[in-house]
């Protein structure tokens, strides 16, 4: 059973069993739950792929949900340097680009193959692909998202860690146990990303004080505020939807997507 956050109108950061190796909720159930709870706008942001967007679009239409095409690209620059992309209208390009990056990054051992036109990437056994080594630099991820007509957004900055901030207690190697940075350094990192082309900041942190901090950074730097649950599983108590995102934030994102889509035509 997937729980839903009360009062949420949208969720722009979701993973499904169908498209992410570390998620266990089928897309079909996510869309049905959102429709039932009145969460009108979703974006499915699988790790490093947009392969499943066509099927998600079908489920969205079936359930009366507004779907924004999405992706979450894992980058090598620092720990948890994930870049979200929203509203891409050239998904064939992005899929081909990400597919090539994965194959070049050695993912064939995990069953990934790129078709001969380099347009589609498929994984014979997604559930067996236990881990996705990041292969792209942030600047390349931003460029690919923009070229596909999308809007790049900094994902969960509260999880960012420096590569060199090893504490020796990192249990899972993803940086969760590494030291946090100072507020000044988080803001400086976001400003750097803004100068590289990132348009928005995900602000839906689990801690209220982080929500306030990243909201103020978004305001200072005149960036869009986005939000989502980063739901991977119904088992850990995380709920679908975020109350951080308002209809005003959504409008700003839609405007940025429209501008980016235009440049792409
Ligand atoms: Zn992430
Ligand atoms: Zn995620």
Q: What's the CATH code of the domain at 258?
A: 3.20.20.140
Residue 24 lies in a domain: yes
Q: What is the pLDDT of residue 214?
A: 98
What CA dihedral angle connects 133, 71, 3 and 225, to 10 degrees? Answer: 120
Q: How far is the CA of 100 from the centre of ligand 2 (A)?
A: 21
CB atoms within 5 A of ion ligand 2 belong to: 72, 230
**Nearest ligand to residue 73 Cα:** 1
Residue 5 lies in a domain: no
**Nearest ligand to residue 20 Cα:** 2
List the chain residues with pLDDT less than 50: 130, 169-172, 174-176
Q: How far is the CA of 155 from the centre of ligand 1 (A)?
A: 6
Q: How far is the CA of 80 from the centre of ligand 1 (A)?
A: 6
Q: How far is the CA of 219 from the centre of ligand 1 (A)?
A: 22
Q: How far is the CA of 101 from the centre of ligand 2 (A)?
A: 19
DSSP string of 113-176, one letter each residue: EE-TTS--EEETTGGG-------B-HHHHHHHHHHTT-EEEE--GGG-B-TT---S--SSSSST
Q: How far is the CA of 155 from the centre of ligand 2 (A)?
A: 8
Residue 4 lies in a domain: no
Which range of residues forms the domain containing residue 235? 10-264
Residue 57 sits at φ, ψ, to 5 deg, of -65, -40
Residue 188 lies in a domain: yes
Residue 2 lies in a domain: no
- Find the largest Cα–Cα distance for the chain: 49
Residue 1 lies in a domain: no
Residue 125 lies in a domain: yes
Residue 112: both structure tokens together: 């990934």
**b/e for 178-210, b at 16 or more Cβ within 10 A?**
beebeeeebbebbeebbeebbbbbbbbbeeeeb
Q: How far is the CA of 72 from the centre of ligand 2 (A)?
A: 6
Nearest to 152 by CA among 246, 55, 226: 226
Q: How far is the CA of 133 from the centre of ligand 2 (A)?
A: 14
Residue 198 lies in a domain: yes
Q: How far is the CA of 216 from the centre of ligand 1 (A)?
A: 21
Whole-angstrom Cα distance, residue 142 to residue 174? Answer: 22
Q: How far is the CA of 142 from the centre of ligand 2 (A)?
A: 17
Q: What is the pLDDT of residue 170?
A: 46
Q: How far is the CA of 14 from the centre of ligand 2 (A)?
A: 6
Q: How far is the CA of 72 from the centre of ligand 1 (A)?
A: 7
Q: How far is the CA of 28 from the centre of ligand 1 (A)?
A: 22
User: Helical H runs in the chain?
Assistant: 27-37, 53-63, 91-104, 138-147, 183-196, 208-220, 247-264
Q: What is the pLDDT of residue 114?
A: 67
Q: How far is the CA of 40 from the centre of ligand 1 (A)?
A: 23
Residue 244: both structure tokens together: 């951080």
Give how many domains the chain has, as a whole number.
Answer: 1
Q: What is the pLDDT of residue 176?
A: 46
Model pLDDT for residues 62-85, shown as the tens digit of each residue: 999 999 999 999 998 988 999 999
């Amino acid at each position: 059973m997937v729980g839903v956050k009360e009062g949420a109108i949208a969720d722009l950061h979701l993973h499904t069993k169908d498209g992410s190796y570390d998620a266990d909720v089928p897309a079909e159930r996510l869309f049905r739950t959102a429709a039932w709870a009145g969460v009108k706008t979703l974006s499915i942001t699988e790790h490093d792929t947009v392969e499943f967007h066509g099927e998600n679009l079908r489920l969205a239409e079936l359930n009366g949900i507004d779907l924004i095409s999405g992706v979450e690209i894992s980058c090598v620059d620092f720990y948890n340097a994930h870049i979200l992309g929203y509203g891409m209208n050239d998904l064939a390009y992005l899929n081909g680009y990400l597919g090539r990056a994965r194959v070049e990054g050695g993912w064939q051992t995990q069953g990934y193959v790129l078709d001969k036109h380099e347009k589609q990437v498929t994984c014979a056994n997604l559930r067996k692909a236990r881990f996705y080594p990041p292969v792209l630099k942030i600047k390349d991820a931003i460029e690919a998202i923009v070229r596909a007509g999308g809007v790049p957004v900094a994902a969960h900055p509260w999880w960012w860690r420096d590569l060199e901030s090893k504490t020796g207690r990192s249990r899972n190697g993803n940086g969760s146990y590494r030291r946090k940075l100072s507020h000044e350094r988080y803001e400086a990192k976001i400003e750097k990303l803004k100068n590289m082309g990132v348009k928005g900041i995900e602000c839906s942190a689990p801690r209220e004080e982080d929500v306030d901090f990243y909201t103020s950074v978004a305001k200072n730097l005149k960036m869009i505020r986005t939000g989502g649950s980063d739901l991977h599983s119904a088992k850990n108590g995380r709920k679908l939807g975020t109350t951080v995102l308002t209809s005003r934030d959504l409008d700003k994102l839609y405007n940025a997507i429209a501008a980016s889509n235009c440049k792409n035509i």
